[in-house]
Amino acid sequence: MMKLLYSLMALMLSLTTSNAQLMQGKDPFSRADSLRGTLSPLRTCYDINYYHLDVKVDIPNKFISGSNEFKFTATQNFRKLQFDLFANLKVDKVLYHGTELSFKREFNAVYVTFPSEVKKGAKESFTVHYSGNPVIAKNPPWDGGFIFSADKSGNPWVSVACQGFGASCWWPTKDHQSDEVDSMLISISVPKDLQEISNGRLRSTVEKPPGYKQYNWFVANPINNYNVTTYIGKYSNWTDQYAGEKGKLSLDFWSLKEDSTLARPHWDADVKPMLKSFEYWFGPYPFYEDGYKLVQAPHLGMEHQSAVAYGNKFQRGYLGNDLSGSGWGLKFDFITIHESGHEWFGNNITTKDIADMWVHEAFTNYSEALFTESTSGKNAASAYVVGIRKNIRNDIPIIGRYGVNQEGSGDMYYKGANLVHIIRQLIDNDEKFRAILRGLNTTFYHTTVTTKQVEDYIATQSGLKLNNIFDQYLRHTQIPVLEYQITNGLLKYRWVADVKDFDMPVKVTLKPASFSLITPSTNWKSIAIDKAISNESFKADPNFYIKTKLAN
């Protein structure tokens, strides 16, 4: 199985590289991409306040049907707006004040025209009724859509994962990360012999003909579209509590019935230590009102808010492997830790455009190191961060193209974590670094952000000049090269980088067995060093993700 996984990953990498080469000098984005990724006036004219998603899942026919109520506040006068629903799903009707509205479709965008102008500040609502066979995910969670699977006993096991692909692959919504709904009721009807789990807290269950049961889950906090989910299967449930920074946090665990004896001790080993670590570093869990749930899923995992998807087969590491090669990656369950870390970065703090998704992934990838530090010490955490560099490709920039729903390089994970680690070295004060992480989660609590907001906050709070560093690691492909030459106890050094006037400080060996901070620029500088340091023994602190090169 692992050989197959690695083969698929290698194939995907080769295809990505080939496509990137083919697209050089061309615009690979379509009108459909722009409709999905651009905040046009037809989307910014209304602010989503509340959704009521009501869906019946017909498992044998892989068919869904239902409605979604949009409650919104008009941000300007308008008569027409856009919502999103994949073209393979039928819009049966759109109701407004009991009357059907006219609508038109263009790719996955649906344009609704109101009978009279909706005035700025007005609070209104409309309901979209829809039905159809949703897209089936080919390789979830990377390739999005519905997952119709079965447990080992042959019972139905169904879920959905749609980050990047789009929540509109299974429900009508304003499918853009910038506008998170303030609260939401999720009503999912499933065959009554199965259980259904969604985000938030269960309010009620209602018997529905013929042979269905409706589960009604209320989400009290803002939630981004791709986090809204459903899990359907033969589940066991147990509960616990965590004494957290904001009081008692409810913990709910949902595993398949057939896996419950395996799941319980496995999850118990990581969840409370994880919450203790992350609340220390990042601040209180952001969704106390909705609780924390960990749910076994028929795919590897996803950060579904307050209902984290788990599919790591109750193993340490990533499907039993250490992504860092350091040994420390086998001390915890990667999916439990990583996907739960997204509750702070990704769910609490969400980027307005998916092009800035490094904010989600860099800090969450670094949360793995911080958890390692909390349990095994700082040296272990550093070894983990250095180890994950072997996964970095330096293929394309980490930040994607704005307005077309495009992510940047997958390096946003490992290279992004190393960028955070570099900034930590430059701050050189762990209490200050921790205060910045907590401050991010306080300042941008339950909001959507841009890269610039995050960059500016870190620079301001740290008091450091970081713009060139962010530019080099986020907006360019290669990492900076420190060129050097040592002659008779004199070190000459400079940066070779894409960013003009790149000037990142770095720690190097100016004397044996220790690292000292120097501030290179793109012009040659020199400094006297211990004569015991030679061209061969000169090193940069491994906590800095850079290259060194002996100058000719």
**Cβ neighbours of 4 (radius 10 Å):** 8
8 pLDDT more than 90:
no
Which pLDDT belongs to residue 27? 60
For the sheet containing 301-302, what is the strand order?
235-244, 247-256, 292-296, 308-310, 301-302
Is residue 433 within 8 A of residue 378, CB to CB? The reply is: no
- Cα 187 to the chain's mean position, in Å? 25
Which one, of 319, 372, 313, lies nearest residue 341 by Cα?
Answer: 372
Separation between Cα atoms, residue 482 and residue 504, nearest integer Å: 10
Is residue 208 within 8 A of residue 189, CB to CB? The reply is: yes
Look up residue 401 and give its two tokens: 């193209």
> Which residues are within 8 A (CB) of 38 and not within 5 positions of it... i.e. 6 or more apart?
403, 404
> Which residues are within 8 A (CB) of 262 and not within 5 positions of it... i.e. 6 or more apart?
255, 314
DSSP string, 125-185: EEEEEEEE-PPBPSSTTTS-EEEEEE-TTS-EEEEEE-TTT-GGGTS-B---TT--BSEEE
Average pLDDT, the chain: 95
Q: 3-class secondary structure for 243-259?
A: EECCEEEEEEEEEEHHH
Is residue 197 within 8 A of residue 253, CB to CB? The reply is: no
Determine which of 12-26, 64-78, 294-308, 343-357 has the lowest per-residue pLDDT on average. Answer: 12-26
Rounded to 10 degrees, the C-alpha dihedral 209/294/175/299 comes to -90
**Cβ neighbours of 316 (radius 10 Å):** 18
Strand partners, 328: none
Separation between Cα atoms, residue 439 and residue 530, nearest integer Å: 41
Determine which of 5-14, 160-169, 377-386, 464-473 has the lowest per-residue pLDDT on average. Answer: 5-14
Which pLDDT belongs to residue 330? 98
Q: How far apart are the first and last CA of the chain?
A: 48
% of residues, the chain, pLDDT over 70: 95
Is residue 299 within 8 A of residue 137, CB to CB? The reply is: yes
pLDDT, one tens digit per residue, over 517-526 is 999 999 999 9
Q: Mean pLDDT, to the nearest integer, of 412-440?
A: 98
Which one, of 85, 83, 133, lies nearest residue 108 by Cα?
Answer: 85
Q: What domains, with CATH codes, occur in the chain?
A: 34-197+221-229 (2.60.40.1730), 339-475 (1.10.390.10), 481-550 (no CATH)
Is residue 522 within 8 A of residue 509, CB to CB? The reply is: no
pLDDT, one tens digit per residue, over 174-219 is 999 999 999 999 999 999 999 999 999 999 999 999 999 999 999 9
Separation between Cα atoms, residue 475 and residue 109, nearest integer Å: 30
% of residues, the chain, pLDDT over 90: 95
